[in-house]
Structure 1
Amino acid sequence: MGPVTTSRLLGPAEVRALAERFGIRPTKRLGQNFVHDPNTVRRIVKAAGLTPEDVVVEVGPGLGSLTLALLPAAAHVHAVEIDPALAAALPGTVAEFAPDLVDRLTVTEADAMTVRELDPRPTAVVANLPYNVGVPVLLTLLGALPSLEKGLVMVQQEVVDRLAAGPGSKVYGVPSAKLAWFATARKAGPVPRAVFWPVPNVDSGLLAFTRREPPAGDRAAVFAVVDTAFAQRRKALRPALAGWAGSAAAAEEILRAADVDPMARAETLGIDEFARIAAARR
C-alpha cells in the first residue's frame, strides 16, 4: 500500500444532507438505520483488527459512514448494496470525502444473499448488517466466500447474544450452532441507539468472529440435523430426531453410534457432536 491516507467521516449533519441530496428515506423493509457518529465507526474499524492487506466486504454501506472509515484501514473495500439509489450514490460520496481512496472501493449493487464471488477476494467482513436479515446474510457469506478469515458485524444485541452463545446457554440455538461450523465468535461490545438515524427500537451490539476449520462431514447434512433437533428443543434427541432417522429406535441407534446421549437435548450439543450424528446415519 502507498502512503497513509485518511477520510473525512460523516456526522449527523452530513448524513442528513446526503440523504436529502440523493432523495433517500430509510426504510424498515430493508432494515436501514444509518450510523452518524464518527467515533462509532472508528471503534468498529479498530475492533475489526484489520491489517493493511485485508480486503473487506461491507454489506449495506448505506450512505457510506462505515465505508469511509474502512477505506484507510484496508487494501480494498467491496460495498454490497441492495438499494439502487444508495449504490449509485456511494462512489460520489467517497470521491467527495476521501478522494485519494476512490480506487480502493468497488460497489456491487446486489442482494448479499446472492453474492458468490468478489475480486479481489475478501478476507474480512465488517458491516452494519440489515437487522431483518442479519443472520442469514452472515451465514450465507461465510458459506459462499471461503476466503473470509474474520469479521466484525453489528446486529441487534439479542442476535449477538444468540450467535455468541455456547451449548448449555438459554439463548443457544440454530444460529449459534451454524455459526460455530464456520467460526469462533465473541461479543465485542454494545452500540447505543443514539448513534443511528433513524433511532432503532432495539439495542445493538458488535459480534467478532474468526474462521475455524469446520468439522468433518457434509455441511448441508449437519445443518439438517441442527434444524431438526432444535425444532423440538424441549424434547430429548431420541424423539426429536425420530422423523429424521425414520423412527425413535433408529434415532437412538444413530445417537449411540455418535457417542451422544439419546436423552440429551439439542441445546447441550456443540457443532462437532451434530456433525458426528450426521456422519453416523447410514
Structure 2
Amino acid sequence: MASSLTQLKNYKIRPKKKLGQNFLVDDKVLEEIIALYDLKKDEVVVEIGAGLGALTTRLAPRVRKVLAIEIDKALVRLLNDEIVKDKNVEVITQDVLLFDFPGVAKLHGSKLKVLGNIPYSISAPLLFKLLEYKNSLSMAILMFQKEVADRIVANPGTKDYGVLSVFSQISAAVSKELLIPRYSFYPQPKVDSAVVRFVFSESFIMGIKDERIFKSVVRASFAQRRKTLKNTLKNTLNLGMLFSDVLNTVKACGIDPGRRGETLSLEEFRDLSNSLAELQSY
C-alpha cells in the first residue's frame, strides 16, 4: 500500500469521489480474486477500472492479453509510465459504458473474461450492458457494494429480489464468492463490498423466446412492488395488447394475479413472457 500511496503523491493524484475511486490494496484479497478466475494462457481479459494496476500486473503473466480500461487520464499516465511493464497489457482511456465488448471479442477471436471493481453509480447500467453482451463473454468477476451484490443473488420472495436478480440469474450462473471489508480499500469507503462471479453459457439461457417482451414483463412486475401483478401489469406493461388478454395469459400460466412480482420464480417469468410472445405473434 505504501508504494501505491507514494505513486499517487508523486503524480499529484487524489482519488476522485465522483468516479467512485476506492483502490483495492489488500494483497491477500487480490490473490483470492485472481484465484476465482481459472485463468488460461490463451484468454483475453477486460479489466474495468485498472486504477493503480494491482490486478492488472497480476493478470498479465497469466493470460494472452489484458485490456485495462481506465477513464481517469491521470491514472492512465501513471499506469503507462510506472506500473505496466508487460507487453500484453493495453491501457485504454475510455468510459466502460461505451466499450464495444462484442467487437473486441470478435477481433480477438474468443469470448472475453471481465474483471472489475464497479463504482456504485454505474453498477446497474454496467451490469445490464454486460448481460446484454453475454454471448461475447465467458465469465465476469465483479466487485460491488455488498447491498448491490445481495440484490444480484437474491431469491424470490425476499426484499432484495428484483430486476437485477432476475436479469442476472436468467443469463448466467451467479454466485457471491467473497466479502471484502471496507478496510481493504484506499480511501476506505463507508460500506463493505462483495465479489460476484457470473459464468456465461449459451446453454444456460432459459429458453426465452423474445428478450424484449421478457424484459418488459420483468420491469413491469417490479415497477410497483407493493401492488399485485394484476394491478402493476395493468398500470405499467405496454405490449400493445388488451389487458384482458394479458390477464388471461397470467392465469393460463398457473400464476395467481393476486401475487406480487417479487414472488415469481425465474421459470414463471420465462413462461409468462413466452406465452405473451406467442399471443402477440398471432
SS of structure 2 residue aligned to 1:251:
helix
**Partners of 1:21 and 1:34 in 2: how far apart?**
17
The unaligned stretches of length 5 or more in structure 1 are: 1-11
Alignment counterpart, residue 205 of structure 2, candidates 214, 217, 237:
214
1:1-282 map, 5 Å: 12-95=1-84, 99=85, 102-116=86-100, 117-118=103-104, 119-120=107-108, 121-144=110-133, 146-212=135-201, 213-215=204-206, 216-243=208-235, 244=237, 249-281=244-276, 282=280
Aligned-pair CA distance for 1:70? 1.6
Structure 1 residues 73 and 259, CA gap change in structure 2 (3 angstroms): farther
Structure 1 residues 198 and 125, CA gap change in structure 2 (3 angstroms): same
TM-score, normalised to structure 2, is: 0.86
TM-score, normalised to structure 1, is: 0.86
Amino acid at match of 1:269: L
**Partners of 1:202 and 1:123 in 2: how far apart?**
30
Higher mean displacement: 214-223 or 175-184: 214-223
Structure 1 residues 126 and 37, CA gap change in structure 2 (3 angstroms): same
**Partners of 1:274 and 1:82 in 2: how far apart?**
37
Runs in 1 of length 4+ with deviation above 6 angstroms? none
Amino acid at match of 1:261: D
**Partners of 2:210 and 2:7 in 1: how far apart?**
46
Contact 1:178 1:271 (C-alpha < 8 Å) held by counterparts: no
Structure 1 residues 234 and 39, CA gap change in structure 2 (3 angstroms): same
**Partners of 1:165 and 1:90 in 2: how far apart?**
37
Output one character per residue of 1:106-159: Cα deviation in whole Å (capped at 9) or x when no partner: 222111111123243552111111222123212212323622111211111111
Contact 1:67 1:77 (C-alpha < 8 Å) held by counterparts: yes
**Partners of 1:198 and 1:151 in 2: how far apart?**
25
1:6 maps to: none
SS of structure 2 residue aligned to 1:48:
coil
SS of structure 1 residue aligned to 2:17:
coil
Contact 1:112 1:141 (C-alpha < 8 Å) held by counterparts: no
SS of structure 2 residue aligned to 1:152:
strand
Amino acid at match of 1:223: K
Aligned-pair CA distance for 1:247? 6.1
Q: What's the C-alpha RMSD, in Å, of the aligned pairs? A: 2.0
Contact 1:254 1:277 (C-alpha < 8 Å) held by counterparts: yes
SS of structure 2 residue aligned to 1:261:
coil
Structure 1 residues 278 and 56, CA gap change in structure 2 (3 angstroms): same
Aligned-pair CA distance for 1:26? 0.9
Amino acid at match of 1:194: Y
Fraction of identical pairs, as percent:
34
Give aligned pairs, total.
266
Structure 1 residues 218 and 113, CA gap change in structure 2 (3 angstroms): farther
Amino acid at match of 1:182: S
Amino acid at match of 1:220: R
1:3 maps to: none
**Partners of 1:251 and 1:83 in 2: how far apart?**
48
The unaligned stretches of length 5 or more in structure 2 are: none
